[in-house]
Amino acid sequence: MALVARPVVKDSEEVPLETCLRNSRNGQVRERTRDQFPPHTRLEELRRRAEHLDERAKNEKTRRKEEHEMFVGKLRDARSAVSAEQMLTEKYKQENVLLAKDLGRLRWSISQSQVEVMENDPSSTEEVMLAQLARSSVARNNMHKIEDLRTVTMEY
C-alpha cells in the first residue's frame, strides 16, 4: 500500500495515524536488520571500516609526503638551474663587453682606405677584419713575449 500525500487538515486524525504507521514500519525494518546482523557482527563491520579508513588516511598521508618531497626536489633543481643560467648570462655579458671593446679598437685601427673598401665591397669586410685581428693578436703576442723576456732578464 503506497502512501499518498493528502492535504493536511489540523483537526484531522489522518495525520497522526499516517505518522504512526510510518514510524511502525521504520521500527519493523530496524528490528529486521538487527535480527539479520547481530551486534557483534555490526561491531566487527565497524572495526573493519575504521581500519580501512585508517589505512586510507595513512596511504594518503604517505602519498602527500612523497609528492611534497618530489616537489621540493624539483624546486631545488630549478633553483640550481636558474643560478647556473645566471652565471652563464653574466659570463656572456662580460664576453659581449669585451667583444664590443675589441670591435671598437678594431674599428679605430682600420685605416680609412680599408673602411672605404669594406663599404664598397661588403664581402671583403670579413677578410679585412680577420687580417686586422691577426695583426692585433700578433702584436699582443709580441708584447707578451717582450714582457716575459723582461721578467726573465730581471730574475738573473
- Predicted confidence (pLDDT) per residue in 95-107, tens digit: 888 877 776 666 6
Exposure letters 44-74 (e unless 16+ CB within 10 A, then b) = eeeeeeeeeeeeeeeeeeeeeeeeeeeeeee
> Longest Cα pair distance anywhere in the chain, in angstroms?
131
pLDDT, position 149: 58
pLDDT, position 57: 93
pLDDT, position 55: 94
Q: How confident is the model at residue 22 (pLDDT cuts 50, 70, 90)?
A: confident
pLDDT, position 142: 60
- 55-59, 90-94, 145-149: least confident range: 145-149
Give 6's contacts (C-beta < 8 A, 6+ positions apart): 14, 18
pTM: 0.36
